[in-house]
Structure 1
Amino acid sequence: MLERIQLLRNIGQFDSVNAGAQLPFARLTLIYAENGRGKTTLASILRSLSTGSANLIFERHRLGTANPPHIVLGVTAGVVQFQNGAWAAPMPEIAIFDDAFVAANVCSGVEIDAGHRQNLHELILGSQGVVLNAALREHVQRIEEHNRALTQKNIAIPTVARGGMTVDDFCALPTNPDIDAAIEAAERNLAAGQSVEAIRQREAFQALSLPAFAPDALNELLARTLPDLEAEAATRIRNHLRNLGNGGETWVADGMGLVEEASNEHDHRACPFCAQDLAGSDLIAHYQAYFSDAYRGLRNAISEIGENINTMHGGDITATFEHAVHIAKENQAFWNAFTEIPEVLIDTTFVLECWIAARDAVLTTLRTKAAAPLEHMELSVGSLTAIRAYGACRDDVIALSNALQATNPTIAFVKQQAAAANLAALAADLTRLQAIRTRYSDPISGLCQDYLDEKAAKTVTENLRSQARATLDNYRQNTFPAYEAAINTYLQRFNAGFRLASVNPVNNRGGSSCNYNVVINNVPVALLADAGPAFRNTLSAGDRNTLALAFFFASLDQDPQLDQKIVVIDDPMTSLDEHRSLTTVQEMRRLLMRVHQVIVLSHSKPFLCQLWDGADTAARQAILIHREGTGSNLAAWDVNQDCITEHDRRHALVSAYLHAADPMTERRVAAALRHILEAFMRVAYPAPFPPGTLLGPFLGICLQRVGQLNQILSQVDIDEVRAILAYANRFHHDTNPAYELAAINDQELSHFCGRVLAFTKRG
C-alpha cells in the first residue's frame, strides 16, 4: 500500500515538498486540487512507478531547475525512490486511470486508429496475457538460473561430508538437539553388537558391603557390672584386686573356679593354691558373690563380642572387600562402553585404614573390659571418631553399590539387544547420526541452507510458472467474452445509453488488435466509417470517457490479483455528465471493497465529498494540493468544511414532499426519514450518540436512563422514535432486504414525514 509521499523535488509544480511525509495515506485516499496544481503530475509519478518508465518523470521535470527529479514514496514494504534517473524497483500492482489511459485505449481525439485497438487488445488480453506471458518467460529463465545455482551449490557440499548420501537426502536430514548423546548411544549399541560373546559372559553388578559397628550396643556392654554385689564387699575386692596388679582379677576369678575341685580331697573348703581351710576367710564369701554366674556371663559376653568383631572385621574380610571393589571397577569399565555406569571412586586404602582403626579401637576397649569385667567403661571419643569415619566410608560404599545395581536392568537389556543385534543396521544408524551432526555443523550447515533456500526458491518459481501458464491459457480462451460482458455491465451502471458488441480479437500484419461495435438504440455503429454514423460522430466526450472508465473497471475485474491492486483514478468526472456522478461514486465504493487501496484525484469537491461521505472513518484520508509561492504543496484537507451536507438536502426533500407530494421522489423521501432522525440525534445528543452508533442501540441506552438524572429521552419520545423507525426501516437495505419493493402510500408517508419534522423541531 502507498503510505505517504515523503519527498517531491524538481517535478511539475513541486519544487521541494516534504509536507506529505506527515500525511499518511489510507485505503481510500482523496486528493483535491484545482486544475494545474499537480494532480496529473502525481498520476504520472505513480504510472512511472507502475511501469518503471523514467520518461514519464523526465517529461515533467520542473522548469527552471538544474537538478534532476527526486521522489521518495513510503510504501508498506519501506521506501521506494526515483533517484539517478530510475526507480529502485517498479510496482506493477498500481493500476491508473487518467488521460493517458483514455488516450491509449479509446482515442486520443475523436478518431480511433490501429494503435488504440492494439492497446485495447493488450488491455483485454495483453494487459493480462502479455504480462502473464512475460512473467512466464521470466519464470522459465529464472528456473534455469536456479538450476545453475543448484549445481554450483551441490558441488560446494563435499561428497565425503555426505557419507555417500545424495545432496537432497543429506540436506533433508532432520536436526537433533541431542545428537551427541544419540551418537554416543549408537556407538555403544554397535560396540555391544560387536562384543556379543563378551557381553553374554560378563556378569552384572554384585552388592558391595562392609560390616557395621554398633557403638550403642558396645557401650551398653562396657557399662555392665554386678549390681547385686554389696557395695562394701565390692570395694574390698576391687582394692584387693588392684593390689594384685594387671591380670589379678582374671587370676582370682580362675582360682575361684578351682575351689570345688581342690576341696574334693579335704573335709573342708580348701584353697586351690595352698589347701588351707577357707572357712575362716570372710573374703572368700565376697569372692563367691563377686565371681558368680553373672560375672561369668559378663565375661562370656565380652569374649563373644570380641570374637564376632574379629570374625566380621578381621582375617580375609578386608581382602574380600578389596577384591569385590576391583571386580566392580572392571565391570564398570566394561559396561560403560555400552551404557551409562557410575564411576567406581572408592579409595580402598583409605577405607581399610578407617576400617582397621575403628576395629582396633573397639578391640582394645574390649580387651580392657575383659581384664576388668566389673569396671564401668565406655567407648572413648577417639574410638567413636574412628567408628564414625568408618561409618561414612561404609555409607559411600552402600550408595555406590545401590547405584551400580540400579544399572543391572539396563545391563540385562544390553545383553538382550546384543544377542539380537543387526550389525549392519546399527552401523547404518551410527553413520546416519554422524551425517546429521556433520549436516548441522559449520560450514556444512550454511552450505546446506544455501542449497535448500535455492531449491525452495526454485519450487516457488516453478509454482509461479505453472500458475502463469494456466492463467495465460485461461485468459486466451475466456477473456474476450467475459470482458465484453463486464464492459457492458459497467456501461449500464454508468447510465451510458450505449453498449458494445462483437468484441473480438483481430490478427493483422501489425500484430493483434481488437475490434468492436458501439450499439446505440440497438443499431451497431462501426468504429471506422467514411460516411454515416461512426464512433467519432456518435459518442460525446463524456461518452468516450465513460467508455474508457468501463474499460478500466472491466480490466480490473479480470485481474486475478485484484485484492492486491492499488488503484489510482485521476479526475474521473472530466467530461462526465452530471447524471453519471452518483453511479461513478457507487462503483468506486464497490471497487474499494475489492482492492487493496484506492487513490482518487479530482478538482471536483462535490464528487470527492460524495466519496468521503459514508466511507469507513478509520480507512479514509483527504489531502489538499494548494498553491505555495510559485509552486504547489501538500496539506491535510478538512473535507467536512467543504462538503455539502446531505442532511440539508434530505430535510428539504421531506419538507417539499409534505408541502406537495411528488410520486417521483416518494421513495427517496421514505428513505430519508431515518437519516433525518439520525442526524438530529447526532447533533442533539452527541455524547451518547457518537458517529458510528446506530439508532437501535442508542434507544436501548435511552430506555435504561428513563427516570434517572442522566435521562436522555422520555418514554414518550422513545416510543415516538420507535414508531417512526418501524415505518422508516422498511425503506433501508440493512433492515429490509426487499426495501426497493416496499409499497408506499402517500397518506401514510406524509403522516410520518410530519412526525419526523415535528420531532426534530423539539428543543
Structure 2
Amino acid sequence: MLKKIIAIKNVGRFRNSAATGNPQLAKHTFIAGANGYGKTTLCAVLRSLQTGDPAHILGRKTLGATDAPAIELLLEGGQARFDGTAWNATKPEIAIFDGVFVAENVHSGEVVDIEHKRNLYRVIVGDAGVTLAGQDAELAAESRAKTGEISTAGKAVQPHVPAGMKIDTFIALPETADIAAQIAAQARAVDALRQAGALRARPSLSEFVIPALPADLSDLLTRTIDDIAQDAERRLSAHLAAHGMTASGGNWIADGLGHADDTCPFCGQDIRGLPLIAAFRAVFSERYKALAEEIASMKASIARDMGDAALARLGTVAEQNNGNVEFWQKYCTIETPALTLPAEAVEAIRTLAVAAIGLLDRKAAVPLEPITPDEGFTAARGAYDSATAAIATANTAIRTANAVIADKKAAADAGDLKAAEAELARLTAIQTRHRADVSDLCATYTKLSGEKETIEARKEAVRKQLDAHTKTVVKPYERRINDYLAAFNAGFTITETKHAYPGGVATSSYQLVINETAVDLGDSKTPGDRPSFKNTLSAGDRTTLALAFFLAHLERDPAAAGKLVVFDDPFNSQDAFRRRQTVHEIMKVAGACAQVIVLSHDATFLKQVWDKSPAADRIALTIADHRAQGSKIMPVDLEHACRGRTATDIDDLQTYLTTGAGGLLDIVRKMRVVLETHCRTTYPGSFLANDWLGDMVRKIREGGATHPAQALYDEMDQINGYTSQYHHGEDMTDATPDQIDPSELTGFTRRTLRIANALQA
C-alpha cells in the first residue's frame, strides 16, 4: 500500500510536489487534476517504482531544472527513494490503467499493430504465461543473436565453399587421406573428357621390335660339302696361297671358270685333263656356289636387321614413345622408366651383329670348314640376351600402358564431363574444407550451430508449455472481455482470440464483431476503405475495450488482493451509462485489492466514486498549478469542488454530445454552470463565489498574461458570447428550441467539456 507521497522533485510539472497539509493516502484515494498538471507523471513514477526502470522518470525530468529528479514515497514496508539514478526499493504489486497501458497493449491512436498484439498477449496469459512468454522471448532473442553469430561465421567460411554447394554440405565433407592423389587423378579424367577428340586421335605406345640373328646362323657356320674332295680343296688352297690370292682369289677363279671350255680363258692353252682344273671345277661346283651365296646373304641380312638403320628405327620408336608418354601421363597413370628402351640394348645388338658378321667372314674364307663361335661372339651374345630381356620387359610395360590408354579413350568417349567436373569440385572442396585455417572456421560454425540447436530445443519445450497454458486461458479471457463489453453496453464483442509467433515472439490476435459481422483489426497499412479497428470503433468504444482488457486481466490475477491499482482517467468520451458502469467496476476492484488510486480531470466523476467509498477509507487530493513553483499535491474537498457542478450537468452535456439527447436551451444553461464551477474550483484565488461567467471573462482579460486562467480566455469569451444571448433575455420563457442551431450547440458543448477537463484534449 502507498501510504504517502512525501515529495516528487524535478519530474515533469512537479518541481516539488510537497505542499502544506500533505496527508496520508487511504485505501480509496482520489486525485483530481487538469490535463497537463501531472497525472500522467504520477503514473510514470508509480510505473518506475513497479518495474525499477529509471527511464520512466529520467525521460520526464523537469525542463530547465539543474538538479536531478528525486522522489520519496512512504510504503507500508518503509520508504522508497529515487536518488536520480535508481530506486532503493521497488514494488511490483502495482497495476496501472492509463494511456501507456492502452498504447502498449491495446491500440495507439486508431491502430492496432504488432507490438500491441505482443503486449496484449502478456495481458491475456497472466503472470504464469508471462513467465513462460518471457522465457520464450529470451530464448528467441538468444536464437536470433546466435543466428547473427552463425551468419558471421558463415560469411567467413563462404569464400571457401564451391559455387552451388550449400555451406552445411561443405562442412559435412569427410576428410580423405589421399585427397591430393584423388584430385590429380580426377583432374586428368576431366581434362581427358574435355580432350576426348584429341585422345581418340592420339596413338598408343609402340612396342620395340627386337632385331635377332638368323635362326640358321649356327647351322651355316658348321656346314660342309661332303662331295668336294679334300685334295681338291688342298690343291686350291695351295694355288691361291702360291699366288697370293688367299683373300679373294677364289672369286676370281670362280668367275674365270665360267669362261673356260677346253682352253684356258687366260692363256688359251688346252686344259683338258689337268688335275688343277679338275680341282677348280670341284671346288666351284653349284653346291659350293650355293653355300657361298648363303653366307653372303646372311651377312647382308644381319647388316640389314641389326645394322645402323635398324638401330636407328629403334631410337625413333623410343623417341615417339617418349612423346606419347608425356601426353598420356596428363590423363593416365603410366610408369615412365619401365617403358624406355634400355640404354645398353643398341650397343649390345650392334656388337652381336659385328661378331656374327666376323664369324661369317671366317666361314666365307673357308666355306668347307665348320666355324666355331669364339669368345668375343659368346660375350656379345650374352650381352645381347640381357638387352633383349630388358626390351621384352619394356614391351610388357608398353602393353600394360596401352591397356590403360585404351580404357582412357573408351572412358573419354563414354564419360560425362559435367559429372566429372562436379566430382573434381567435390574433391577439391574436401581438400579445402580440411585445410587447417578453413577447418578452424568450420569448427566455429559447427559449434555455434550446435548451440543454436540447443537453444531451439529449449525454446520448443517452453513453447509447448506456453501453448498448453494459453489454450486454457484464451477462451475464458475472451468470454470475460465480452461480459465486460456487455456490462458497458458496448455495441460490439470480440471473437477468434488466438495466439501465434510472428517474428518468433508470442502474439495475440482477435476480431471485432459488429452487427454480427467479423471485422479484422487491420494495422497502420490497412486501406481506409476496408473495415478495421480504426474506422469501426469510436473513441469511447476504444476506451471501453481497453478498460475491459485491463479489468479482465486484473480479475484473473491471483495476486490482485495485494495490489495497488491505479486508474488514470478511466472514464473518457463515454456516455452517462458507461460512466456509471465505470464507477461500479472501480468499486468492485477497490473491494478486491489492497488499494485503489483514481486520477481524473473530472472532479464530478471522482465525486461519484467517492460517494460509493467508505468514509473511513477514502481521501481526495488535487494536483494544483502553482505557476513558477509547479504542480503540488494537496487535499481537496470534493463536495465543495463539485458544488453547483453536479454530475448530472456533466452527464447531460456528454450525453448530448454523444447521442444528441436533451433540451437545447437546457444544454446552453448548463454549459455556463459547468464553466463557472470549473473556474471557481480550479482557480479559487482568482474568482469570487458570486462571479458569473461574464465576470470571470472580464477578470481574465484585465489580468492579461499574468492571470492563471489566461490560456482559457479566448475559448471562454466565445462561449460566454454564445450562451449569454439565450441566458439573459428579458423573458426567458420566450426562448424556443428552434432558435438554437444543433450543430453550433454541439461544437460549443464539446469546447465547454474540453475546458472543464470533462473531455480528453
Q: Provide TM-score, normalisation by structure 2.
A: 0.40
Q: Provide TM-score, normalisation by structure 1.
A: 0.40
Select the structure of larger CA radius of gyration.
2
